[in-house]
A = this chain, B = another copy of it.
Amino acid sequence: MKRFLTIAFALILSAAALSAQEQASYYPRQTEWLEMAYQMRPVLHETVVCPVGAVRAVQDPAAYQGWRYEPCEGWEGMENRSFREIKEITLDFGRHYTGYFTFRIKSLRDCMDGPIRLRLLFGEMPSEMNTPLDPWPEGCLSRGWMQEEILTIINTDQDITLPRRMSFRYLKIELLGTSQSYEWAIDHISFRAVSSAKDVKTALQPGAPQIIQDINRVSIETLRECMQTFFEDGPKRDHRLWIGDLYLQSLANAYSFQNWDLVRRCLYIFAALADPTDGRLHGNVFEDPMLHPQYQNYMMTYALLYNSTLLQYIRDTGDLETARDLWPVARRQVEDALFSVGDDYIYDMARKPSWCFIDWRDGLDATACVQGAVIFGLEETYAIAEALGCTAEVKEWPKIAAKMKRAAYRRYFDKGSGMFLSNGQASVQSQMWMVMAGVPSAKEGAAALRNALSSENALKPGTPYATHYLVEAMLRCGMNDEAHDYLVDYWGGMVRKGADTFWEAYDPGNDNISPYGFTPVNSACHAWSCTPVYFIHKYPEIFQK
């Protein structure tokens, strides 16, 4: 029943965005797709876990972001010790979990004669747990993302389960208020961890190096935590399905959990929530309180990665029925991108407003990257048409792709520096997207990548997201050893710095990088960082050697 109500509500919202003349949806089956998306909602697997011990925070300049935890006494027997005396404790659950926290106030002596007030702070990272949160930086993301709950507890000896889903490894419990005239303990601490991921279907070759084993494990844990009712970008922050993250998750999923149903569900969700007036995909969607997009949030680069996800899905599953169903959506995204390609075969970002996300790196000029992303998307989508045998519909595309490649080379390649420059700016990002698009030859591309990576002035990737494409581009240019080393250095760097799951933002040279100007709000378990498992298993001869 709820499903039908929410569908009706979503349609009302969609309808509100339509002008009176255009009440028909761009895709006639969009309502049906939404219904299918609801029907495909997975049941989450649940595991009940407990803390492994108490920890003490140590401020340490050598630790990542300046803080680390070390084990201490306090967990054993906590359920029989007066919390009025403990006052504060930090518990370590041993690894990253996402789900629901339960505890109980147990009477030790006399009975409760006044409410207990507690502060619970759940966090992924030691520094997140120990950085003062107030005053909250002006203009930052919402303070509400911090997993801090102030509880007033009226009754003892009853299970208390927080309704809010938490994503964390560490939990700090602080006493804010109690009556002085009775004694009580915190008891029955447990956590119901949830994920739609289940068994890992792949295994490393015997004798794979330890660092590769570690990177693989953390990569899988990252994906597991992000796999909920859909592929979330981060279980702590955003909780959203973004196309760009979905694509990378679908690659990692193909080499780990192989949960194709969840990929298929996400493909239908985006299609169902596309703008009914013009068929454009929204860059991200939410599941609660009902499925809905972030309205008007168009991301051309991400829309094309939807098509790459569909292509990957076909290749992994052979499910051409789904591909045929969603083909109009894929074709529409390319058509929309081509609208902004001028007579000079250069993509003009000014022509139609859209967020062309490439990386979080201050000052990055994305012009060349976007040109590359459009060419890449065009070719990926043409591959879907080939699989479906409908290339006749889009027979101009290969010619357009070829012309865009030549135009890109002419416009952006700078012989002097041996790099593609984007409005004069050198960046690793520009090189890698030109490579992804097949603009340079493998040899030229490798040289351009090496030049940018070794240039002091060239901007470097700011996120694991961009780093994925860099490694992919290296592999496309035959830079196998460098791809291996880069992956081991970059993701291995996170492992060495204590990562249980891979982080949203990571710069080996700057522990305090944050897309939001405040590291505690960073997500430390982020979908777009989970791709090492894909590289490691797709190219075992390179990464497992």
Instruction: Let me know if A142 is at the binding interface, CB within 8 A.
Output: yes
Interface of A with B (CB < 8 Å)?
Answer: 110-117, 136, 139, 141-146, 148-150, 152-158, 164, 176-180, 238, 240, 286, 288-289, 292-296
Tell me if B180 and A139 are in contact (CB < 8 A).
yes
Complex contacts, A292 vs chain B, CB 8 Å: 111
Tell me if B144 and A177 are in contact (CB < 8 A).
yes
Tell me if B154 and A142 are in contact (CB < 8 A).
no
Complex contacts, A157 vs chain B, CB 8 Å: 289
Tell me if A178 and B117 are in contact (CB < 8 A).
no
Tell me if B288 and A154 are in contact (CB < 8 A).
yes
Question: Whole-angstrom distance from the CB of A237 to the nearest CB of chain B?
Answer: 8
Contact among B150, B158, B177, B238 for A150, CB-based, below 8 A: B150
Question: Whole-angstrom distance from the CB of A331 to the nearest CB of chain B?
Answer: 27
Complex CA distance for A246 and B208, rounded to whole angstroms:
76
Tell me if B144 and A152 are in contact (CB < 8 A).
yes
Complex contacts, A293 vs chain B, CB 8 Å: 111
Complex CA distance for A516 and B454, rounded to whole angstroms:
69
Tell me if B164 and A142 are in contact (CB < 8 A).
no
Complex contacts, A141 vs chain B, CB 8 Å: 114, 179
Complex CA distance for A157 and B288, rounded to whole angstroms:
11
Tell me if B179 and A296 are in contact (CB < 8 A).
no
Contact among B145, B149, B154, B288 for A164, CB-based, below 8 A: B154
Complex contacts, A142 vs chain B, CB 8 Å: 114-117, 177-179
Q: Known: A111-B294, A157-B289. Is A149-B152 also a contact (CB below 8 A)?
A: yes
Q: From A285, which residue of chain B is reached at the shortest CB distance?
A: B111
Q: Known: A164-B152, A164-B154, A289-B157. Is A294-B110 also a contact (CB below 8 A)?
A: yes
Contact among B110, B144, B289 for A158, CB-based, below 8 A: B289
Q: From A296, which residue of chain B is reached at the shortest CB distance?
A: B110
Complex contacts, A150 vs chain B, CB 8 Å: 149-150
Q: Known: A139-B180, A141-B179, A150-B150. Is A155-B288 also a contact (CB below 8 A)?
A: yes
